[in-house]
Amino acid sequence: MKAIVIHAARDLRLEDRAPPPAPGPGEVAVEMAVGGICGSDLHYYQHGGIGTAIRLREPMILGHEVSGRVTAVGDGVETLSEGQLVAISPSRPCGACAFCLEGAPNHCMNMRFYGSAMPFPHIQGAFRQHLIADASQCADATGLTPGEAAMAEPLAVCLHAMRQAGGLVGKAVLVTGVGPIGALCILAARRAGADLIVATDLSEFTLDMARRLGADEAWDAREGLAPYVKDKGRFDVLFECSGAAAALSAAIPAIRPRGTIVQLGLGGDMTLPVQAMTAKELTFRGSFRFHPEFHTGVSLMRKGLIDVKPLITQTVPLSQAQAAFDLAGDRSRAMKAQIDFTA
């Protein structure tokens, strides 16, 4: 089978790998359909890692935003059947460590998250033509397209961020950085009851996307947020999705006292305006990965409550994987570039 393997920055290869064995008890075999290129995949491709702490130390199959069709089921699997379209969660906590037992599986000490160079040996990813997955990882995606099903992972990231923010009904929300995560935060925040949603970015393409997705206003970040600074700030919640310190610092004056910052963007260490945050009594909360939100996201999509189709801007055949990665990094024309493993 073919797999997309990163060896170093800009060294992406389409390689032959041995097909997986038959599924064991509680497992399913999946023929991959679609994989979405995530920001972390781009960091590995463009920089050989994420920040200074997470670096490639061996070749690694990329990918964790995937969907496919079940081709075989192992013993004991009763909820899935051959031919069924599934979205596959890359989150595989051990279930036995201290964090799993206290209800924080996204912080599992022994996490096996697809396509991650955090541990060594690295956890190989899901950008391959065939995969063996636990049945519990697979969410029924009947009624969705394979491309929509592959959006379940980034949507789950945003749903977890909504939990971190607390109740959003009637709140004013600022989203900085309208890549796929920022765009999905707009959809998720509206579904959670946010009344006012304003988005900022540097690209007119992404700002247009924010407006299409229902943001009340979309601003070029270079123009600032002056209309929202009056009376100590307008926004109750900031979803910071860019990973840029400048975006966070520029947003602080527009956040009202006792507001909440939810940091999703990962771009390396950031210097925070701690004194300004302290004076406003702001709450800073990180938001990292997800776990139960994955199946919730698939359910919301299947019910038509969240529509991710506008975010899927390109679908590229597997044979052109490197071109797909180059395209995915171009924020002037790509929101979510996906790879078709069947083409």
Tell whether 139 and 221 lie within a shared domain.
no
What domain range includes position 81? Answer: 2-151+308-340
**What is the pLDDT, as a whole number, of residue 287?**
97
- What are the counts of helices (DSSP H) followed by strands (DSSP E) for the chain? 10, 18
Tell me how many domains the chain contains. 2
* 230, 253 Cβ separation under 8 angstroms: no
Q: Assign residue 268 a region: left if phi > 0, alpha if psi is -120 to 50, beta otherwise?
A: left
This prediction's pTM: 0.96
Residue 132 in contact with residue 23, Cβ under 8 Å?
yes
pLDDT in tens, 48-77: 998 888 999 999 999 999 999 999 999 999
CA distances from 239 to 187, 188, 257 (A): 12, 11, 16
Same-domain status, 204 and 146: no
List all residues 6 or more positions away from 314 whose beta carbon is below 8 Å from its beta carbon: 324, 327, 328, 334, 336, 337, 338
Q: Are strands 2-8 and 11-16 parallel, antiparallel or unpaired?
A: antiparallel
- Give the per-residue pLDDT at 51: 83
161 shares a domain with 131: no
In CATH, what number is assigned to the domain containing residue 254?
3.40.50.720
Locate the DSSP E strands across the chain. 2-8, 11-16, 27-36, 49-50, 54-55, 60-61, 65-73, 85-88, 130-134, 138-140, 172-176, 196-201, 217-220, 235-240, 255-263, 283-286, 312-317, 336-340
Percent of the chain with pLDDT over 70: 100
**Side chain identity at 193, as an amino acid letter?**
G
At 193-225, the pLDDT tens digits run: 999 999 999 999 999 999 999 999 999 999 989
* Residue given tokens 């900022």 in the structure block: 200
Whether residue 297 is contained in a domain is answered as no
Q: Would you say residue 268 has pLDDT above 80?
A: no
**291 domain-assigned:** no
Domain membership of residue 300 (yes or no) is no
